[in-house]
Every structure is written in structure tokens, then in C-alpha cells.
Amino acid sequence: MGQFFLEIDGQAVRRWRAGRAQRLFQYLVMRHDQPVSSETLNELLWPGTATRQASGLKVAVHALREILSNAQGGNATQRGSSVELLSCSNGYVLETKDVSIDFEELADNVESARALERRGDVGASLDHHRAAVERYSGHFLDGESEDWIYSRREWLKDLALRSLERLVEDAMSRGDHDAAISYCHRTLDIDPCHEESYQVLILAHACLGRLGRVKCLYELCCNRLREELDVEPAPDTKRLVAQAVRGRLTRPDRRLAVRTA
């Protein structure tokens, strides 16, 4: 999530050499402990090339093996965790033991949250949703644009947005407007055109009597929807703003405290 990094025993692997060793590792991590054919890896590393780069793939594999071996210091067995690139029939497999992979942990948290919610354990479910949101530290392999990266990136965005939506619902149901506001801004960091988040922000700020924020957020919503999608806000959003500016959404029990000394 975010910028790619590999850390072994607390030490970041920074020297990936020239060539395609890092891209090879990134792809194999997504399919760790599963065989991947040489043909698939060739197409990944040299897309659209008519003549397959058999020697090039071997060079990348050799470089990656050296990087992993040097980083692990040859004592992976004693340490109890390891990452090893092995040859298999017609391809390679990245074997992992006791390895933490952030995007998998995010997905596991979302799946656990959904399972707990089905069993009626809402509190524990929300804890897992919070953990999933914490795992989302940036878009998957941010700044890189291959198709296989894009599809995984969008899937992980959907998972994070699902958790954020559930956390927003919970915060609003408890009247915790500040928490809902924070989660909505996290949502907009992932999807700047998520109109439901603008609606919740408008409602939450209106309930807190922050009508200036309502106006600014509505303008931001209009601009982003127009620039990104060439659409106008939904009628529900417009009605919500109209109610807010008329003071119909402000909490009736709100009091103004003035200190004179």
C-alpha cells in the first residue's frame, strides 16, 4: 500500500539493482506460494514483445534470488521466517513463511469484519473495519500503472471504502459527528467523487452549526463532480444543503458558551 517497500528483520531492502527484479518480486508476492508460469512472467516483464525474453527472465530471477539471500543473511531457517524464489514446472514460485503483507492483512480484516457482523458481533466487526482502514496507507503500488496493478488497486480501494462506509454509519448513529467527518475525509482521499461522503459531511457540519463549512463542502462537491465526471450533484445533495443553510439541521440542544473572564 502506497510506495512499495520490503523490510526484513527491521532492515529495508533498498538496493534492487538495474533490471526487473523488483517488478518480478512485486508480482510474485501477489501470488506467493502459487506457481507462476515463465510465459506469464515474460509477458509481465516484457509486455507485447513478440520474442520471449527467456534469458532476460533468468537474469531477473538470478538477481532477485541474490537480493533475497543477501537481505536474509542466509539464516532464514533459524529465524523462522523466510522468502525464497524456487523453480517449478514451467515457472517459478515465491515461497513465504511467517511474512506480513499489508494488502492481504487489509483484505483479511474486511472479511473478518463481515463474518462477525453476520454473527451479530457488531463491536468486534467495527474493530476489524478500523484495522482495515489503518492498513490503507496509500493506493496499492502508488504511481505505477500496469493493468495487473490497476485491477488490484481498485479492488483494495473497494475494500477500504466498504469499511469506511460502515464506520461512518456507526459514527452517525451514535451522534459522533467529528468521527464521521474524519472517516468521510479518509473516504474522499480514496474516491474524491464519493458524493455520499459529501452528504454526510454537510449533514454533520450542519448539526454542529458550521454553516460556513457546509457552503465550502458543497462547492467542493460541485467542482469535483463537474471536473471528474461532468455531472451535477444529485437532488438529495441539493435538498440537504438547502435545509442546512435554513438552519433546519442544526441540533436544537446546541448552546453557545461565552467566557467573559
pLDDT digits (tens, 9 = 90+) for 74-117: 555 455 568 999 999 889 999 999 889 999 999 999 999 999 99
65 with 111, same domain?
no
Tracing cell 441540533 back to the chain, one arrives at: 251
In a domain, 186, yes or no: no
Q: Do residues 232 and 224 touch, judged by C-beta distance below 8 A?
A: no
Q: What is the pLDDT of residue 53?
A: 59
Tally Cβ neighbours within 10 Å of residue 73. Answer: 12
Residue 128: which of 151, 173, 196, 119 has the closest Cα?
119
In a domain, 139, yes or no: yes
Strand boundaries in 111-252, DSSP class E = none
Please give the backbone phi and psi of residue 67, each rounded to the nearest 5 degrees, phi first. Answer: -60, -45
Counted domains in the chain: 3
77 with 133, same domain?
no
130 with 73, same domain?
no
In a domain, 146, yes or no: yes
* Cα–Cα distance for residue pair 91/24, rounded to 1 Å: 12
* Cα–Cα distance for residue pair 253/250, rounded to 1 Å: 9
Can you give the CATH number for the domain in which 15 is found? 1.10.10.10
In a domain, 35, yes or no: yes
Domain boundary among 36, 64, 97: 97
- Write down the pTM of the prediction: 0.86
Domain carrying residue 85? 7-97
Q: What is the pLDDT of residue 184?
A: 98
In a domain, 242, yes or no: yes
3-class state of residue 260 by DSSP? coil
* Cα–Cα distance for residue pair 153/106, rounded to 1 Å: 12
67 with 30, same domain?
yes
3-class state of residue 8 by DSSP? strand
